[in-house]
A and B are shown apart, each in its own frame.
Chain A
Amino acid sequence: MDKISIGSRSCHAKLRRSGSNFTLSVDDETYEGVFSRKNGGIIQLNLGEKRTMGFSERNGNEIYVYANGINYVLRKESSNTKQAAVEEENDDIVLSPITGKLLDKKVEDGAKVRKDDVIIVLEAMKMEHRLKAPRDGILSKLTVAEVGSQIKEGEVMFELEGE
């Protein structure tokens, strides 16, 4: 479960998807729904009887959503570990969670990696942050930044392709 918050309010949620169907768990409730992606980045959502058109974009641990005529800025924290924002499940794209120095690139672009392999090591405020592969896959679009250079929060560090 991820903790999702807006201002001082929060809840725990998890979404499992299979094709265009999804199951959303919010605290103790469960919802079944269907979604599809439309032109212009619009996501159509059918949750029970209700149809919602919206936009959603994520950067680091912030998620920006437009739905039902309201713009939201949500914060997402994984409840597993403290650095969980780094280790999100089902993520194909891994962004730098911090602004800091690139210490090491452990794997080369195109390599096959397994879940939890360390790909990138960053340093900020004298602390090391290890970015791990969120799942098995092929490493692609590894950052071209050189070891020793500065990385900004939200910068794409690498992507995963294939399964």
Chain B
Amino acid sequence: MIKKILIANRGEIACRIIKACKEMSIGTVAVYSEVDSDSPHVLMADEAIEIGPANPSESYLNFDKIVNAAKDTSSDAIHPGYGFLSENGDFAQYVQESGLIFIGPEPSTIKSMGDKAESKQMMIEAKVPTIPGSDGELTGNIDAMAREIGYPLMVKAAAGGGGKGMRVVRHSGDLDSAIEAAKNEARNSFGNDTLIIEKYLDNPRHIEVQILGDKKGNLVHLYERECSIQRRHQKIIEESPSPAITNKLRNKMGEAAVKAAKAANYSNAGTVEFLYQDGEFYFLEMNTRLQVEHGITEMVCGIDIVKWQIRIAEGETLDFSQKDVKQRGHAIECRVYAEDPSRDFLPTPGLIRKMVLPEGSGIRNDVGVSEGQEITSDYDPLLAKVVVWDSCRNSAINRMDYALSNFVILGLITNQPFLRDIMNNDSFRKAHFSTNFIDENFQNWHFELISPEVLALALLGTKTASITTKTKTSRDPYSPWSSRGSWRSGL
């Protein structure tokens, strides 16, 4: 039995996990960095342990500090949330070796799914569809291979990343020159000119399937989430079910996800991500953790994923099977970020001077910040997730627009107006979109002109702030706000 859980995370996801624990009468331990001493997750937990400076590598990413805090508080288990250490197989192993329960899959599963090449090979063997391409180094008759894969295709550096050494080829006549150019770039950027080719998807959708498995090998899927609305390759709006696929395809994707999870010997909650285009879907990667957008699945399936994560970690068996899992109605999530959509989604730190959350039936707010809190540049700028449910997609969109319009957050620039514009966008309403949606529709987005009412309010407003700010922001060179470090933010 798990009697006490340490949550190795912060922000809304730490609060979400603490809530589940409280409902299950499980004790909770929060850990926090110096700048987070007044954060909601710290105030919510039964116990709270400070684990160091703002810099994640000295606090939220530090194995020893977290495990020691768990031991010092006699915790039985550690829940990693998402981001930070959640997909670090070495950490999971360290937790287990320290005699604690890691709430997540086995360390070996995390490690093999974290390796892109290894996981793709595993999926090919399990007959889960993957993006067609060369399995290794480009050799032999490249032209024939390219014809078999089909155009357009992508030539990219095996060692690549960041768009370097990548070329989209649309016609066979351009193949040789693209290979030559990619080779040169790869050699200059990575010191390695090994190339791979694979099918290029022009207008893919990102559709993922939630899975849940116990330690006895029972695996179910909780259907899909449509996550195509992304900016800077990070999701901002998700919905379930996906408006793009038929029931037949939905079941086929669910079965493929279960097959993928079986191949990875998966237990606990996980997500199989697919790219979808023209009726075909391809395995992208498997996320071996709780997903940011898990809430929409909970809304449509009526299953609390976090509670099941804990039960599974305790060794409990799933008390339902695939046929018991039904999607009901439609759920949407909008991620409210401290960022400026008119300036390339630049993070916008600041002090939350006023916050009023939307209320009403079918509205759920997963929030990890509070009024009076300073949002520093130390961590991911996610402020809150607004999740709504209604009987059909159109009603759910209307409800989301209502919820967003009643979300008051003053003191810093957020993407709230931008999210509302998406809710009222024609292509979004018609579900005509791919992962290119924001680039195609909101390239030059601006805040709307200031109306006379807004100006009058501005000039009538209270002339001071009753809240004084704390100067705790560190100038951390590893801050995710200035650069993407080795840990993943915004997942």
Chain A contacts to B: CB under 8 angstroms = 2, 4, 6-9, 11, 13-15, 17, 22, 24, 26, 29, 31, 33, 35, 41, 43, 45, 47, 50, 52, 54-59, 63-74, 76, 91-93, 95, 152, 154-156
Contacts and interface: CB of A to CB of B under 8 A. Distances in A.
Contacts of A9: 446-447, 449-450
Given A9-B449, A24-B452, A47-B452, A71 B459 contact: no
A73 B413 contact: yes
Given A6-B450, A73-B413, A152-B471, A26 B464 contact: no
Given A65-B454, A68-B453, A57 B405 contact: no
Contacts of A29: 452
B124 to A, nearest CB: 48
B447 A7 contact: yes
A145 to B, nearest CB: 12
A35 B460 contact: yes
B451 interface: yes
Which of B416, B420, B457, B462 has its CB near the most chain A CB atoms (within 10 A)?
A: B457
A56 B458 CA distance: 6
Given A11-B450, A155-B468, 10 more contacts: A15-B455, A50-B453, A54-B457, A56-B457, A56-B462, A57-B354, A57-B461, A64-B411, A64-B461, A67-B454
B447 A33 contact: no
Nearest to B412: A73
B165 to A, nearest CB: 36
Nearest to B341: A7
Contact of B457 (A26, A45, A154): A45
A69 B406 contact: yes
B408 A33 contact: no
A47 B453 contact: yes
Interface string B116-155: 0000000000000000000000000000000000000000
A15 B452 CA distance: 11
B234 to A, nearest CB: 21
A63 B461 contact: yes
Given A8-B446, A26-B455, A47-B452, A71 B414 contact: yes
A65 B456 CA distance: 10
10 closest Cβ pairs, A-B complex: A56-B461, A69-B405, A15-B459, A64-B410, A59-B465, A52-B453, A56-B457, A93-B464, A63-B458, A54-B457
Contacts of A156: 464
Contacts of A22: 456, 460
A13 B459 contact: yes
B448 interface: yes
Contacts of A91: 463
Which of B407, B446, B462 has its CB near the most chain A CB atoms (within 10 A)?
A: B462
Given A55-B354, A152-B469, A95 B456 contact: no
A66 B408 contact: yes
Contacts of A65: 410, 454, 457-458, 461
Contacts of A93: 463-464
Which of B411, B449, B454 has its CB near the most chain A CB atoms (within 10 A)?
A: B454
B294 to A, nearest CB: 26
B416 A70 contact: yes
A81 to B, nearest CB: 19
B406 A64 contact: no
Contact of A24 (B412, B414, B456, B471): B456
Which of B449, B456, B462 has its CB near the most chain A CB atoms (within 10 A)?
A: B456
Contact of B452 (A8, A26, A35, A152): A26
A71 B463 contact: no
A17 to B, nearest CB: 7
Contacts of B172: none
A27 to B, nearest CB: 10
Contacts of B342: 7-8
Nearest to B471: A152
Nearest to A48: B452
A58 B452 contact: no
Nearest to A40: B356
Contacts of B405: 68-70
B343 to A, nearest CB: 8
Nearest to B456: A24
A118 to B, nearest CB: 20
A22 B455 CA distance: 12
B256 interface: no
Contacts of A4: 450, 455, 458
A91 B447 CA distance: 28
A64 B448 CA distance: 15
27 contacts: A4-B455, A4-B458, A7-B342, A7-B343, A7-B447, A11-B450, A11-B455, A14-B459, A15-B455, A24-B455, A31-B452, A35-B456, A47-B452, A55-B408, A57-B465, A58-B458, A59-B353, A63-B461, A64-B353, A67-B451, A67-B454, A67-B457, A70-B420, A91-B463, A93-B463, A152-B469, A154-B465
